[in-house]
Amino acid sequence: MYRYCPFTLSLLSVCVISAGAWAHPTMEEINVSGQRSNLIGQSVSASQGVVTQADIETRALLRVGEILELVPGMVVTQHSGTGKANQYFLRGFNLDHGTDFATVYDDMPVNMRSHGHGQGYTDINFVIPETVGSLRYQKGPYYAAVGDFSGAGATQIISLRALDEGTLKLTLGEHNYQRLLAADSLHRGNSDILWALEHTGYQGPWSDIDEDLDKLNAQLKGTTDLAAGTLRWGVMAYRNQWNSADQIPARAVTNGTINELGSIDPSAGGESNRYSVNVGFDSAHWHASAYAIDYDMNLWSNFTYYLDDPEHGDQFEQVDQRRLFGGQVTYQRVDQLVGKPMHNVFGLQTRWDDIAEVGLYTTENRVRDGVVRADSVDEHSVALYWDNTIHWRNDFKTVLGVRYDHFDFDVQDNVGVNRYGVDLSPNSGEASDGIASVKASGIYTLNPQWETYLSVGSGYHSNDARGTTIRVDPNTGSTVDSVDPLVQSLGSEWGLRGRPLQNLNVSAALWYLQLDSELLFVGDAGNTEPSDKTERTGVELTAYYRLNDNWTLDAEYAYTHARFVNEQPGRYVPGAVEDVLQLGLSADYASGLFASLRVRHFGPRPLVEIGDIKSEASTLLNAKLGYRYQAFTISVDALNLLDSDDHDIDYFYESQLAGETAPVEDVHYHPLEPRNFRLTVEVAF
């Protein structure tokens, strides 16, 4: 039984129901075991790949968000508490929490439009890593099935249909880390039901904050094979609350006010909930899915301390309460054009964000003392796309994609006059916009071992709905201009993928990306902050080598040059990572012994546009060692094995501490968590 997969590695491919297996339209079965697989004949670019549960299992993970570091060149960090969405870096983008990288889980979008904390907010804390079947990534805007937030790329996380066996897993670690997982599958005829329950608690290593993380995940997924195709459905529930150790000013550490694991405002933190249902049907020609998501978040932060309010402090609360509804339908068929095999995919996608409240409040110790801005938002989008692949010869094919997206925004002010005496009612309004995207790729197979790609395409990201109707700055009352609802990107890439040896897969990509404007809605201030046009160029190299039956080596390197190009060309893009290097060595013996060692390095980043202030480089080494015996598995994760005091992230901005009489420009950073050991005991049943 085969089904169409909208994020296929080739638009002429369909995917087998079992995770990690692919098939060609001729029904020749191709086995895929992850990044070490040979994807020649299946990819549209050298920047595509697939990783599976086997790849995830080999890694020692501090946070679930780090599964996205399986995307080559991606850096996943954190500047706040464990429960908050991670900070992402890819292809010269400081993606914040996901603005230009689209993430989808079982056909449900993860990026939040017009979110209380940041546009494209991507929180994957609801994901249970052990139930992930595969992660399919594609970098660059060359794929017609992907629309919003597609500038740097996209990934689709697909859950397993079923587990081979039930599992009960307990992990205990330093700083009172506790995680309990129970999962299993029920099999009845042509049907499978997967269930999983996860609870995580964590105190954290901080000197004056108990993170008091309390995370609960539940997942239920059903799959049934029918005569006409496959029916699947899923239900998920996520609840989390935590205290935050936010970034800290370097001067406070230097002068002894706090140590590197201290905090300026120990009352920061958050709570979030996500409940979802989804259903899908897959057949040889049709793929249809629909979802409904109920989501809310309250986040308390303080990044400037006593800059705006020397008496009560600058803590603020960001609120997001919404429901999402949407779905997609795709139809595919194989035809011929002048005797050449041709494959067409036609798609329809729609999404509605019904946001009851997206707000910003001033607070002290999490108690509200004023409102800066609060709105309700209706944001609708609909997209049509067509993807056409033609095999002109046995060694050459083209892929052409055309896409059109239309957005409607309706913003209603819920405040009137805010705490600063500003009447916000002029910020209510409606806006709409549409954007067409064209993508094209040529793929030439040099021989059975080598394939080359040339791709060009446009993508886009939507801006926060509040920025499309804004007329009055909520902080000053001054008149401001609204922003363009949709911001286009244009990218191109030359790539090469090869298998020079039986156990060696390599790829290389030389790419270019232009973004019309990096306009963002600044959730921390409640207004818009425009940026100029940017250009990015880069090179990416990957290699996966199976040394023998037991040992595997992988290496990934990415270099990016990112600059503003408008009135003052040559300006640096703050936060753009130039160098990313990841090296991994893993072993798996038939005796039951397994191990892995992984290093992640990302180089200095400019923190201001003139480039004279930069962060230091950051290097992190993680290790795993374990043993399987019959139904029992025991393993130890060593996180930050060398106990590095490098930084997870750095910023440069103005803040004011208690006792200071004037603002100070300073580096603010979040340190890597100190060395941390975690012991896991697992029983299969």
Q: What is the pLDDT of residues 309-324, one digit of tens each?
A: 999 999 999 999 999 9
- Cβ–Cβ under 8 Å, residues 126 and 236: yes
Q: Burial of 15 by CB count in 10 Å (0-12 exposed, 13-18 middle, 19+ buried)?
A: buried
What mean pLDDT, rounded, does the chain reach?
90
Task: Place 24 in a pLDDT band, splitting at 50, 70 and 90.
Answer: very low
pLDDT tens track for 426-466? 999 999 999 999 999 999 999 999 999 999 999 999 999 99
Helices in 165-319 by DSSP H: which ranges? 250-254
| pLDDT at position 23 | 29
Per-residue tokens: 154: 């996209």
Range 97-121 average pLDDT: 93
Angle formed at CA 301 by CA 299 and CA 302, multiple of 5 degrees = 165
pLDDT at 402 over 60: yes
Task: Place 569 in a pLDDT band, splitting at 50, 70 and 90.
Answer: low
| pLDDT at position 566 | 75
| pLDDT at position 96 | 78
What homologous superfamily is domain 2-627 in, according to CATH? TonB-dependent receptor, beta-barrel domain (2.40.170.20)
Nearest to 572 by CA among 529, 518, 619, 510: 518
Q: List the 29-31 sheet strands across, edge first.
A: 2-3, 14-16, 21-23, 29-31
Tell how strand 75-77 and strand 48-52 pair up.
Answer: unpaired
DSSP state of 674: P
pLDDT tens track for 637-665? 999 999 999 999 999 999 999 999 999 99
| pLDDT at position 40 | 83
DSSP state of 68: G
| pLDDT at position 678 | 98
pLDDT tens track for 277-308? 999 999 999 999 999 999 999 999 999 999 99
- Cβ–Cβ under 8 Å, residues 369 and 363: yes
| pLDDT at position 94 | 84
| pLDDT at position 525 | 54
| pLDDT at position 34 | 53
Q: Which amino acid is at 643?
A: D
What percent of the chain has pLDDT above 90? 82
| CA within 13 Å, CB half, 651 | 17
CA–chain centroid gap for 302, Å, is: 24
Task: Place 9 in a pLDDT band, splitting at 50, 70 and 90.
Answer: very low
What percent of the chain has pLDDT above 70? 92
